Homo-oligomer: A and B are copies of this chain.
């Protein structure tokens, strides 16, 4: 933040509006195509307002990554039964299908775009993925406790497969402008987890 003073409620709202506008532009155009002037116009703020909240463009892109990570945490539902896991898959497919995979993953597409140029953003994305995998692993651990999965199942390994299949599936869907590879990859990952299940 460009100011050390605590923000007022109005200030926080303005800052959030700028970040949301920037995140939307980055999603639809790619980060490289987003200038501060575009964000100013989209958020309906002046340049001096923008610089009041962000030191520069990199600082704003950092806030976009934090915003996408927070969004992910806010949308984490239960994943501790096989039906809940299937619902998680369907919700993610519906989200990406809404844009026919254009723009890719709101969080994952930031990795190739921003991770190499900004270590702080890379750390934000790394933590977000770490927490996402941990959330899924916790659900799968519950499934071993409730006997849905056998004690030999490795929750962290299965959770990593799920997130990788999701991110890789979205990448393929974005390239092909077709949601099918995302669905196929995630259903294959679910096949694997279901095949480990000890009871119908």
Chain A: residues with CB nearer than 8 A to chain B?
28-33, 102-104, 108-117, 122, 125-126, 129-130, 133, 156-158, 160-161, 163-169, 171-172, 174-177, 181-182, 184-185, 187-189, 191-192, 195
Copies of this chain: 2
CB within 8 A of A160: which of B28, B108, B133, B172? Answer: B172
Quick one: closest B residue to A28, CB to CB?
A: B116
- Supply 19 A–B pairs (Cβ within 8 Å), ascending by A: A28-B116, A29-B117, A32-B117, A108-B171, A112-B174, A115-B174, A115-B175, A126-B175, A126-B176, A160-B172, A160-B188, A161-B188, A163-B172, A164-B167, A164-B168, A167-B168, A167-B171, A191-B192, A195-B195
Q: A167-B167, A188-B192 are in contact. List 15 more A-B contacts (CB 8 A).
A: A30-B112, A111-B112, A112-B171, A112-B174, A113-B113, A126-B177, A156-B184, A160-B185, A161-B185, A164-B168, A165-B165, A166-B168, A168-B171, A171-B171, A192-B195
Quick one: closest B residue to A119, CB to CB?
A: B177
CB within 8 A of A164: which of B28, B156, B164, B192? Answer: B164
Given contacts A31-B32, A157-B187, A161-B185, contact A172 B113 (CB under 8 A): no
Q: Is the interface of A mostly helix, strand, loop or mixed?
A: helix
The distance in angstroms between the C-alpha atoms of A158 and B110, with both chains bound, is 27
Chain B residues with CB under 8 A of A172: 129, 133, 160, 163-164, 167
Least Cβ–Cβ distance between A29 and chain B, in angstroms = 6
Quick one: closest B residue to A30, CB to CB?
A: B116
CB within 8 A of A175: which of B125, B157, B174, B192? Answer: B125
Asked whether A171 lies within 8 Å of B116 as measured between CB atoms, the reply is: no
Chain B residues with CB under 8 A of A158: 188
Quick one: closest B residue to A161, CB to CB?
A: B188
